[in-house]
Amino acid sequence: MDYYAIASILIVFSALFGYINVKFLKLPITIGLMLITIVFTIVILVIGQFDDTLLLREKALISQIDFKTVLLDIMLSFLLFAGALHTNFNQLKIQRGPVLVFATLGVLTSTVLVGIIMYYLLPLLGLNVDFIYCLLFGALISPTDPIAVLGILKKANAPKKLETKIVGESLFNDGVGVVVFLTIFSIAASPNASIEFSEIGKLFAQEVVGGLALGLVLGWITYRMLKSIDNYEVEVIITIAAVMGGTLLAHQWHLSAPLAMVAAGLIVGNDTVRNTAMSEITETYVDKFWELLDVLLNTILFVMIGMEMLILTFDLNYVLAGVIAVPLVLLCRYVSLWLPIKFYAKKLEFVPNTNLIMTWGGLRGGISIALALSLTQDMHRELFLVVTYVIVVFSIIGQGLTVEPIIKRLSKNAD
């Protein structure tokens, strides 16, 4: 099956499931699509017990999709640029301290805590896994997913200061999380090779700092080009070119493309650039185009996540490990946020119960699944893929459906 056929089938499924969600379920689009796709996949599995024709066709479809490449190398740049384009730049500037600490120290702390807990938990289920592989799992599950967070927080009516912290953290911490994951992956893949801290620092600086620098340059160039003309068709194309060309450059120079797109999106989307570089009609078209693209890619992504269930190895101990890991991963996130929140509480006015809301609102999504799919068999890929999938499904459906009432309840109690 060629790429056009695969893309066509995914978009048809997305449109059909999206229609069902809007017509009947009326859930946030990310939650509704994932829930419908999972139910659809379960029905296919049940039918497959009697006639496996449809099951084999769907398995053939999903096996031809390189989820990791499609998400991390293609879709993620567009989604992050779209998210950053509509993020409150001025509020993010005020909250930059805690956001950066959450996205760096928070991710590292959570990675270590999850790794330690899983190392001692898994043997209780008869699963003996080396510590380095547990740490690798900690790295892939610790970053919150900006795609899931942005899609659901729009409906949650969170206080703007709190929303900026959650969204800002999720925009940046996936880039940092990927770098941490790749660093630990290189250690796990070559256990006999000596890993120098200087090399780790160099990789981190190159990916993170270099990615942010590239994004700032791209954002400035895009701004100058938008300011020099007044033609909304060409200006929309310029923003597309910034994302696609910038992603290619980041991959070529081994920089973090996600962080580059976040930086570029924040520059292009801030009020100063909008007021000085875009006419009213250009601003409308740029916003509407990126909103529509964001929705389209989100629908395809969460349909793909639902279908990924077909490639899982449903071992009872694997599923049980995933169920037990859900509260433990949430606990590790709570602990990793506690110190930064305490440190900045005196300097910045924090919304009451910030830690609880950020813990519950920090959703896991496609990025964690994509990183789990990149593990090798020696790294217990099947085990960690099932555990990751259980956590992601609970995060998107369980946390996603309850984050709005929890925010309202905690805010009401604080008042």
From residue 59, give the alpha-carbon distance in Å to each of 55, 313, 374: 6, 13, 19
pLDDT given at position 413: 62
**Dihedral in degrees, nearest 10, Cα atoms 206, 185, 387, 310:** 90
pLDDT given at position 206: 86
Confidence of residue 182 (pLDDT cuts 50, 70, 90): confident
Confidence of residue 35 (pLDDT cuts 50, 70, 90): very high
Burial of 271: CB neighbours in 10 Å, binned 0-12, 13-18, 19+ = exposed
| Residues 351 and 411 sit within 8 Å (Cβ to Cβ) | yes
Measured distance CA(372)–CA(259) in Å, rounded:
20
Q: Is the pLDDT of residue 10 over 80?
A: yes
Sign of the C-alpha dihedral, residues 19, 78, 106, 111?
A: positive
Q: Which amino acid is at 340?
A: P
| Residues 258 and 103 sit within 8 Å (Cβ to Cβ) | no
Burial of 383: CB neighbours in 10 Å, binned 0-12, 13-18, 19+ = buried
Q: Is the pLDDT of residue 1 over 80?
A: no
Same domain, 240 and 177: yes
Same domain, 127 and 209: yes
Same domain, 75 and 57: no
pTM of the model: 0.92
Give the domain-ending residue among 46, 63, 80.
Answer: 63
Same domain, 57 and 95: no
- Mind listing the pLDDT tens digit for each residue in 363-387? 898 899 999 999 999 999 999 999 9
Residues contacting 300, CB < 8 A, separation 6+: 10, 11, 14, 75
Q: What is the CATH number of the domain that holds 372?
A: 1.20.1530.20
Same domain, 259 and 320: yes
Give the domain-ending residue among 63, 93, 111.
Answer: 63
Q: Is the pLDDT of residue 414 over 60?
A: no
Same domain, 265 and 362: yes
Sign of the C-alpha dihedral, residues 308, 145, 69, 185?
A: negative
Residues contacting 64, CB < 8 A, separation 6+: 1, 6
- Could you tell me which residue, 31 or 164, shows the higher pLDDT? 31
Same domain, 117 and 51: no
Confidence of residue 195 (pLDDT cuts 50, 70, 90): low
pLDDT given at position 41: 93
Range of the domain at 16: 3-63
Best-predicted range by mean pLDDT (48-62, 89-103, 106-120):
106-120
Give the domain-ending residue among 47, 63, 79.
Answer: 63
Same domain, 44 and 156: no
Same domain, 304 and 394: yes
Measured distance CA(84)–CA(11) in Å, rounded:
25
Measured distance CA(305)–CA(314) in Å, rounded:
16
Same domain, 42 and 139: no
- Could you tell me which residue, 192 or 88, shows the higher pLDDT? 88
pLDDT given at position 107: 93
Same domain, 164 and 132: yes
- Number of folded domains that form the chain: 2
| Residues 395 and 363 sit within 8 Å (Cβ to Cβ) | yes
Q: Is the pLDDT of residue 192 over 70?
A: no
Sign of the C-alpha dihedral, residues 253, 259, 263, 264?
A: positive
Same domain, 35 and 91: no
